[in-house]
């Protein structure tokens, strides 16, 4: 069969192509919470890929933009607008404008670039090679989105499967990007069948079925292997304060926030946890020079009690009359001493710094004192070696890897998602932390101000999950593991290989020297 593009005509008329692009956006956006139709992730890209068959790069880019705009409007725009309104105190128009521009930069732009690449990739010989090139292009663009403009790896295709541990086990081999690659390959094979259900399409579908079966089999095997492996465990207490965010910056109410965490901690230490966890910014005071505050924490856990890990600011005067502020995690002993401190390395745009990009130039709200990023991947030694990821840091795999390489036996995520309100971002943020556990084969304890608070096992299974928007404390068992996965050792090697392969495939497909026959 001769490709429609070889004859200079598009396979689908414009109206049908627009429908297919919008359908891709709908499927992609609905894969994530709040809709949560995760099976859509296996086919989400197929309509868009099919719609670009026989079209030029410009038209295909516009189709990709349409798909990305629809996808972001479902999964991202609502919570971005809510955050701009409730956290940054913007009016309705400014909040919606911020959400729309943000979703374009960190969502639709990736789809548009994907659409631009597709016409060249359609020209590659061999159905399996073509599908692999399309999957590599999608994966490379996810990597680009995670690194460009400050990086925003939010709602990557793989994240839709966060609640399906048997499907995401291969993340310990190639990270989240490996899961996205296989899902994109399945969509590309289906797109080939939508173009024409011939022998080439059947070969592509067979290859996709084999890849999915292998991914599922590996995940199931890892679930069984980890379940059968005896490892020590540790009891941790997770304290969820559920205090209004505005109290923390109110001099009158800041003490009430601290008192709420002290009271809830006193009630839980009777169950003898080895470690007590408070969320990000649980205190808004400087702990280092404030002996009284540290003494009150020590009194709450009692003599010989567990250390308390909590989030709070840190200041470094550094001489010269300049002060640098850090968003930090403090480990306070039962004697009231500071055992160790970690400074957040990846800051949140706008709430902790003003990004130097289009959004930063358009919006100049800045409610924070202007934090400085930390430089060290700190390991806490008591009661067992562990590493901390603060807030958004848990969506960046490259921040978790050095913690495990330095000996962390489990991971802790301190965050304050109160500014998400009741939007789907609460669940989306939690879903992304699941992949840090799978990639590193380390349990991850997550404690928040309002939720989602819980514990993710080293296979991605949720071992404990607690109610949102309540003040309470809970005990959870945390398995302690050692060793390094392939992904911990190699990092994003697969994703970078996809980037190189995409460049080569695009140049080859654009050269015009390939036979255009399917």
Handedness of CA 261, 263, 265, 268 (dihedral sign): negative
Which tokens hold the place of 19? 């429908």
DSSP secondary structure letter of residue 394: G
| CB distance 476 to 463 below 8 Å | yes
Q: How far is CA 75 from the centre of its chain?
A: 13
Task: Quote the CA–CA distance of 428 and 198 in Å, as a whole number.
Answer: 39
First to last CA, the chain: 6
The domain segmentation of the chain, as residue ranges, is 7-227+492-510, 232-347+376-480
Distance CA 254, CA 284 (A): 7
Please give the Cα distance from 145 to 167 (Å, whole number). Answer: 23
Burial of 88 (0-12, 13-18, 19+ CB in 10 A): middle
Instruction: Catalogue the E-assigned strands of 269-383.
Output: 275-277, 308-316, 324-332, 338-343, 379-380
Please say whether the dihedral angle defined by the alpha carbons of residues 214, 217, 223 and 225, taken in this order, is positive or negative.
negative
Answer positive or negative: Cα dihedral of 228, 233, 239, 245: negative
Burial of 318 (0-12, 13-18, 19+ CB in 10 A): exposed
Domain 232-347+376-480, CATH 3.60.110.10 — does that match?
A: yes
- Which pLDDT tens digits describe the chain residue by residue (518 residues)? 344 444 357 889 999 999 999 999 999 999 999 999 999 999 999 999 999 999 999 999 999 999 999 999 999 999 999 888 887 778 899 889 989 988 998 899 999 999 999 999 999 999 999 999 999 999 999 999 999 877 899 999 999 999 999 999 999 999 999 999 999 999 999 999 999 999 999 999 999 999 999 999 999 999 999 999 999 999 999 999 999 877 777 777 878 899 999 999 999 999 999 999 999 999 988 888 889 999 999 999 999 999 999 999 999 887 666 788 999 999 999 999 999 999 999 998 777 877 665 555 555 655 555 789 999 999 999 999 999 999 999 999 999 999 999 999 999 999 998 888 888 999 999 999 999 999 999 999 999 999 899 999 999 999 999 999 999 999 999 999 999 999 999 999 999 999 999 999 999 999 865 544 44
Alpha helices in 31-108 (DSSP H): 46-51, 57-75, 77-86, 92-103
Tokens, residue 181: 């690659």
Q: Which of these, 450, 412, 389, lies nearest to 240 by C-alpha position?
A: 450
Residue 5: per-residue pLDDT:
47
d(C-alpha 64, C-alpha 115), whole Å: 5
The tokens describing 62, both together, are 């516009």
Look at residue 3 in the predicted model and tell me its pLDDT.
46
| DSSP-derived secondary structure letter, 7 | G
Give every CB contact of residue 298 below 8 A, 6+ residues apart in sequence: 305, 332, 333, 334, 335, 336
| Nearest CA-CA partner of 155 in 95, 98, 110, 189 | 110
Residue 19, judged by CB atoms within 10 A of its CB (0-12, 13-18, 19+), counts as middle
pLDDT at 357: 54
Q: Please tell me the total number of residues recorded for the chain in this structure.
A: 518
In angstroms, the CA 194 to CA 48 distance is 11
Q: CA-to-CA distance for 356 and 39, rounded, in angstroms?
A: 37
């Amino acid at each position: 069969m001769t490709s429609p593009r070889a004859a200079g005509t598009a396979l689908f008329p414009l109206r049908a192509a627009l429908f297919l692009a919008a359908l891709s956006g709908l499927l992609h956006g609905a894969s994530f919470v709040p809709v949560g139709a995760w099976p859509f992730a296996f086919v989400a890209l197929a309509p868009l890929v099919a719609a670009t068959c026989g079209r030029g790069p410009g038209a295909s880019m516009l189709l990709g933009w349409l798909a990305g705009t629809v996808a972001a409007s479902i999964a991202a725009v609502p919570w971005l607008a809510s955050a701009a309104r409730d956290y940054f105190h913007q009016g309705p128009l400014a909040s919606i404008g911020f959400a729309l521009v943000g979703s374009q930069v960190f969502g639709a732009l990736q789809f548009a670039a994907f659409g631009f690449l597709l016409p060249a990739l359609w020209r590659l010989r061999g159905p399996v090679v073509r599908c692999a090139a399309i999957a590599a292009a999608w994966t490379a663009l996810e990597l680009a989105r995670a690194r460009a403009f400050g990086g925003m790896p939010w709602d990557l295709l793989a994240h839709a499967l966060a609640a399906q541990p048997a499907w995401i086990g291969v993340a310990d081999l190639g990270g989240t990007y490996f899961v996205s690659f296989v899902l994109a390959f399945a969509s590309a094979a289906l797109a080939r069948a939508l173009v024409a259900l011939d022998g080439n399409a059947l070969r592509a579908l067979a290859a996709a079925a084999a890849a999915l079966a292998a991914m599922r089999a590996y995940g199931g095997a890892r679930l069984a292997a980890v379940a059968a492996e005896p490892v020590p465990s540790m009891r941790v207490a997770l304290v969820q304060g559920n205090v209004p965010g505005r109290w923390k910056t109110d001099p009158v109410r800041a003490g009430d926030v601290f008192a709420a965490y002290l009271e809830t901690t006193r009630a839980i230490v009777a169950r003898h946890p080895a470690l007590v966890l408070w969320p990000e910014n649980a205190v808004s005071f400087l702990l280092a020079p404030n002996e009284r505050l540290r003494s009150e924490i020590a009194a709450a856990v009692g003599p010989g009690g567990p250390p308390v890990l909590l989030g709070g600011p840190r200041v470094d005067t550094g001489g010269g009359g300049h002060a640098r502020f850090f968003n930090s995690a403090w480990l306070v002993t039962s004697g009231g001493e500071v055992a160790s401190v970690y400074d957040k390395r990846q800051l949140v745009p706008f709430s902790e710094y003003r990004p130097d990009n289009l959004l930063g130039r358009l919006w100049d709200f800045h409610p924070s004192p202007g934090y400085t990023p930390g430089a060290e991947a700190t390991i806490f030694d008591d009661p067992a070696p562990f590493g901390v990821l603060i807030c958004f840091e848990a969506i960046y795999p490259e921040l978790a890897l050095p913690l495990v390489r330095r000996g962390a036996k489990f991971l802790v995520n301190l965050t304050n998602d109160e500014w998400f309100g009741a939007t789907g971002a609460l669940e989306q943020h939690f879903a992304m932390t699941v992949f840090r556990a799978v990639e590193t084969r380390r349990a991850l304890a997550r404690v928040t101000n309002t939720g989602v608070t819980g514990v993710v096992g080293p296979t991605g299974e949720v071992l404990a999950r607690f109610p949102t928007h309540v003040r309470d404390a809970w005990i959870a068992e945390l398995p302690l593991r050692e060793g390094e996965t392939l992904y911990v050792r190699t990092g994003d090697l697969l994703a970078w290989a996809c980037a190189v392969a995409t460049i080569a495939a695009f140049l080859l497909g654009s050269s015009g020297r390939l036979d255009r026959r399917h």
